[in-house]
Amino acid sequence: MINPVAMHRAYPSDIPAVAAGCPEDWSMVTRRTLIGLGIVGGVLATGGGATAYAFSGALDAARQRCAPSLSKVMNTRHGQLEYAEAGSGTPLLMVHGTGGGFDQGLLFARRLTGMGYRVIAPSRFGYLRSSFPAEPSSANQADAFLDLLDGLGIDKIAIAGGSAGALSVIEFAARHPDRCAALLPIVPAAYVPHAKVSAGSPPPGVEAAMVLLRSDFLFWAASVAVPDQMIGT
């Protein structure tokens, strides 16, 4: 059985190393991206004004889900960390992936809030109202989570992370095992064991992935057109 902590800690750096030359790690994202961009091309060609109207409505709804009134901000050693809570009972830290902030974390764990769990969903570095420190590593993100738990008076907690959010929760378990009741990496965008990492140009498809991830419209259109392909982000 693969130990997710050992798999993560086997690599000295974070996402930049993967982007530099590890196509295996990007294959899941780039497949979604290429499929999504192809579908988006069809949407752009046929949707016209209806597409623009739907996108505007979706953007307004997304802004409402991320409204500052729905979350709080706590000061940590790495700046401000935004978080939201839902439910009551056993605490669970739910960390979002690439496609959202605290709102995506709450969405991931929405069924648990009615099952006796207190879901705490932070926004990772650079998302929404969370600070983006000079060193936004998974290790520093894990330490910011620790400061959040200290501020909330939580001694031990189960932690879950989806996709890119799995990296920092794995790091949390490695750095603070006495505070981790359980580790739940969900479709983790983690590093491939024994993969060769080399400097150079990004792997094929990474440029397309970055174009998609930097555009609200392209990301939305791909999510609507191929939701099963995009949900893992």
Q: Is the residue at 143 inside a domain?
A: yes
Same domain, 158 and 223: no
For residue 104, the SS3 value is: helix
Radius of gyration of the chain from Cα atoms?
A: 18
Sign of torsion over alpha carbons 205, 141, 103, 55: negative
Tens digits of residue pLDDT in 114-167 = 999 999 999 999 999 999 999 999 999 999 999 999 999 999 999 999 999 999
Same domain, 183 and 219: no
The model's confidence at residue 193, banded by pLDDT at 50, 70 and 90, is low
> Which of these, 221, 217, 164, lies nearest to 35 by C-alpha position?
221
Mean pLDDT of the chain: 80
Where in the sequence is the domain holding 126, given as residue range(s)?
70-189
Name the more confident of 24 and 170. Answer: 170
Across the range 22-26, mean pLDDT stands at 42
- Contact (CB, 8 A) for 89 and 120: no
Instruction: Please name the helix (run of DSSP H) or strand (run of DSSP E) that holds residue 83, with its range, or none.
Output: strand 79-86
State residue 207's pLDDT score.
Answer: 72
Q: Is the residue at 80 inside a domain?
A: yes
Q: Is the residue at 19 inside a domain?
A: no
**Domain harbouring 145, CATH code:** 3.40.50.1820
| Cα 145 to chain centroid, rounded | 14
Q: How far apart are CA 20 and CA 150, in angstroms?
A: 36
Tens digits of residue pLDDT in 62-100 = 899 999 999 999 999 999 999 999 999 999 999 999 888
Q: Please tell me the total count of domains within the chain.
A: 2
| pTM flag (> 0.85) | no
Q: Is the residue at 217 inside a domain?
A: yes
